[in-house]
Amino acid sequence: MSAPKPNPLPLSTPFPPAVRRAPVGTREKPLPLIIDCDPGHDDAMAITIAVARPEINLLGVTTVAGNATLPRTFENARRVLALLGVPDMPIAAGADRPLVRPLFTAAYVHGESGLEGAEMPAPAGRVHEAGAVDLIATLVAASPEPVVLAPLGPLTNIAQFITAHPELLSKIAHISWMGGAIGEGNVTAAAEFNAYVDPEAIQIVFSSGIPCTMVGLDVTHLARMGDAEVARLEQLGNRAGKIFAELLRYFAIFHRDRYNWNFCAIHDAVAVAHLVDPDLVAVVHAAVDAELGDLQRGRTVVDWLEPRLVERGRLANADVAVGIDAPRFANLLIDAVATFD
Ligand code: RIB
Ligand code: CA
């Protein structure tokens, strides 16, 4: 696989180009994928890409408390499955709080329901009553191929799966996580939401030995849907386009009021799009650690400088996203929505 073309980097730092370690699905060999999420407007768009694209074989969806409480993220995920016409998709609810800390939610971003802005269909999905960790274990054990995990919320469920099922870790091909940041924060100046909510879970996941990609705010803040893109969704003329246009118009309110931006950032969709398009996101190899203190709780410390890693005796344990072809991303997202009724 050719090294991705280093896209215009959003940061001033000239990162060394690095060949991605995340696998890419193809039509001939779709990637078996499990999405763990906290819908969440951008989670909903990420699930849409996974269902729409032939390069992905979505095995199941698990939900975690994050953007909203667990009952709400679980219900929202099931409504998204109904909208996408996959009512038999296995789905399970997971952790209703982080590993250690009290739950912190984001009604100020996504609304009280967690998916405000549109009339969604009634919930669907084949509910796995034994819970998220058991569903992930069941799907991974049954898969003939190693499975990719795409966590799009706090890493609580993934950390609990890793702790409970060490015998299955060799069947996890990669973890593509939307979370963290090199130099940005959206809850505090230091921390991105998914990392802030459960920083302890990050340490478990990133020290597990499973190859990881961290798709942080440095790149997802460039994954934009503005008025023109939302209008393109509406002009698709299908129900999915209409509903996602309504959802993004609501999601844009937070971005306008908080940042004075005239677009919304579709964070989670990048972590899934990275698995279908090898030329979308540029990465750097780095060591990632989570800050557990109070002042910088949830900050992801990303050390990408090879000589410094050697001096510290650290190995680069992750790919970290450092660039994205933003127009390509918007087209990929809109084309995915276009495939639905
Ligand atoms: O910081 C953005 C992340 O937090 C996204 O995953 C969003 O859905 C929220 O979970
Ligand atoms: Ca999310």
Segment-wise mean pLDDT, segments of 10 residues, the chain, 341 residues: 45 79 97 98 98 98 98 98 98 98 97 97 98 98 98 99 98 98 95 98 97 97 96 98 98 96 97 97 95 95 94 94 94 98 89
Ligand nearest to the CA of 36: 2
Residue 41 Cα: closest atom of ligand 1: 8
Q: How distant, in Å, are the alpha carbons of 40, 41, 128 from that of 113?
A: 9, 11, 22
**C-alpha to C-alpha distance for 140 and 247, rounded to whole angstroms:** 32
Residue 43 Cα: closest atom of ligand 1: 8
Q: For ligand 1, atom 10, which residue shows the shortest CA distance?
A: 153
Residues, beta carbon < 5 Å, ion ligand 2 = 38, 40, 43, 152-153, 268
Where do the structural domains in the chain lie, given as residue ranges? 31-338
Strand blocks (E) in the chain: 31-37, 56-63, 90-93, 126-127, 147-151, 172-178, 212-215, 224-226, 263-265, 281-290, 300-303, 318-324
DSSP code for 34: E
Residues with CB under 6 A from ligand 1: 38, 40, 42-43, 66-67, 152-153, 178, 186, 192-194, 267-268
pLDDT score, position 331:
97
Q: For ligand 1, atom 8, which residue shows the shortest CA distance?
A: 40
**C-alpha to C-alpha distance for 137 and 169, rounded to whole angstroms:** 10
CA-closest candidate to residue 297, choices 104, 21, 25, 83 = 104
pLDDT score, position 6:
45
DSSP code for 90: E
pLDDT score, position 11:
55
Residue 341 Cα, ligand 1 centroid: separation in angstroms? 27
- For 269-302, the DSSP string reads HHHHHTTT-TTTEEEEEEEEEE--SSTTTT-EEE
pLDDT score, position 15:
83
> What's the CATH code, domain 31-338?
3.90.245.10
Residue 337 Cα, ligand 1 centroid: separation in angstroms? 20
CA-closest candidate to residue 206, choices 301, 93, 103, 83 = 301
Task: Count the neighbouring beta carbons within 10 Å of the beta carbon of residue 340.
Answer: 18
pLDDT score, position 304:
93
Residue 186 Cα: closest atom of ligand 1: 1
